[in-house]
Amino acid sequence: MAGMEKLETRRQRVLKELAELGEMRRGSITEQFVESTGRDGAKKRRGPYYVHTYKEKGKTISRRLTDPGQVALRREQIEAFRRFQELTAELLHIGEQAADAALSGEEEKKTSPSKSRLRRTRK
């Protein structure tokens, strides 16, 4: 049962870290640049302009972020959501391992259809 104790310890650690996660948000933040041509024909590049992009109901939503503080905050929230996804995947893996360990003590019965059932299905 030492294996089950390790799984429970890992499970408790993951649950604790999940409880400590703060604000989270889906999506990503990208930098966009705008190129324009001046009167003298020289190309100018302006930016970066920060854009938060995420999916909602199958559509991509993009929001331009104008406040640098907002960019930093949203990056932290997006990172928290990514950590949430990692932790929930780990929690699922731990749960599956615990379920497998619980079942390993039981014998799985192999059954084959009886001869009478085979005769009935062949008719």
Question: Could you state, in order of their start, the residue ranges of all structural domains in the chain?
Answer: 2-103
Give 46's strand partners: 34
- What does the pLDDT average to over 5-34? 95
**pLDDT tens digits, one per residue of 43-54:** 999 999 999 999
Predicted pLDDT at 109: 44
What is the rounded average pLDDT for all residues in the chain? 87
Dist CA 5 CA 113 (whole Å): 40
Supply 48's token pair. 């970066």
- What does the pLDDT average to over 95-110? 74
Supply 107's token pair. 């014998």
pLDDT at residue 117 above 80? no
